[in-house]
Structures are given as C-alpha cells and as structure tokens.
Amino acid sequence: MKNSKLIIVSSIFIGMIFFSCSDKKSEQSTVDLKTSNSKEELIKRGEYLVTIIGCDHCHTPKKMTPTGPVPDMDRWLMGYPNGDELPEIEKSKTTPSKWLLFNGDLTSGVGPWGVSFAANLTPDETGIGNWTFENFKRAMTEGKYKGLENSRPIMPPMPWQSYTEMKENDLKAIFEYLKSIKPIKNDVPSYIPPTNMGI
C-alpha cells in the first residue's frame, strides 16, 4: 500500500514538473519570438544586413583617403550626388562585350543598358521616405523601379536578382533600418537609356 501511494505521489509530482517545464518553454518561445521581432531588433538586424550585403559600395558617395576611397558617412546611403557632373563617356567602350564603367565613387555606372545612378536609400522624400514595405519588397525581389508595380526595371549594376529569395523578415529588417537612418535630401538623376547616349 505504501509503495502504491509513493508511486501515485511520484507520478503526480513528475507530471507537475513536466507540465510546468512545458508551459515555461512555450511561454519562453513566445517571449523570444516577440523580442526577436521588436522594432529595435529588426533595426539592429537590418543594419547588420545592409553592412554585410555592401549597400554602401554603390549607394554611398566616397571620400578619398591615403589608402583609397572610403564611404562618406555624412552622406550615408544617399545615392549618386545630384549636381555632380559625369565625366565624358567614350561610347565605343560601353557596347556589349566591352567595358562597364563606374564613376570615381561607384555611385553611377554605364554600360550597354545606358547610365544608371545609385538610388537614395534614406528616409527623405527624395529617397524611400514615402515607400511602403510592399514597395521595398517589390523593388528588392522583382526589380521594379521605386517598387511600383508597372514601373520600368531597376537597371544594372543593382543586383536585385540576388535578393529574390530573401526572407521576408530580412527584407523587413533592412526596410526598418533604412527608415531609421538620417534622411538626406538628394534627388538622384533619372536613368539615361542607351538611345540618349548614342550607344
């Protein structure tokens, strides 16, 4: 009789521990999920992704230093500086199977597609200030200019094809980070098709 009472009490005790641990784990998972999707966490992840993807390589003007060009942090992700003059382009070098050329700070490129300019990614109205997440997602995964459904394609050298399978949480993180940085007024020039260059 003593043994059966001991077994019953032990079973109840073990059951309570099991359910108690199970509930805490479930509660903990919910808390972790909420924390990992908080705006601050998304922004932090977005900053990390923007850094490792190298968005600043083309979207930030450069300063020349003794060791070469470095991103100008005062103009972080503002795109091609409006008002900068493009150097003379030797059109014979930009035909298919020839050269693809970049300006000195890599914010504009020329090739058989024409001349393209790195977009302003800051939250100013001249950048992505008026964009929705859907606009951003469409631009990044479908290559649509300004993320508009019936717009022209985003031109090279923007490697949007590399981002077609990017997870939605990563896209949201990048978008939230870009919306959190300093807005810079910079109305980037329009793309120049090859017909307007005489190519």
> What is the extent of the structural domain holding 52?
42-196
Angle (CA) 158 50 136, round 5°: 60
The answer to the question of residue 1 being in a domain is no
What domain count does the chain have?
1
The answer to the question of residue 147 being in a domain is yes
Query: Closest Cα partner for 46 from 178, 181, 146, 183?
Result: 178
pLDDT digits (tens, 9 = 90+) for 68-105: 889 999 999 999 999 998 888 777 777 767 778 888 88
pTM of the model: 0.78
- 148: confidence class by pLDDT, cuts 50, 70, 90: very high
Backbone angles phi and psi of 111, in degrees to 5: -165, -165
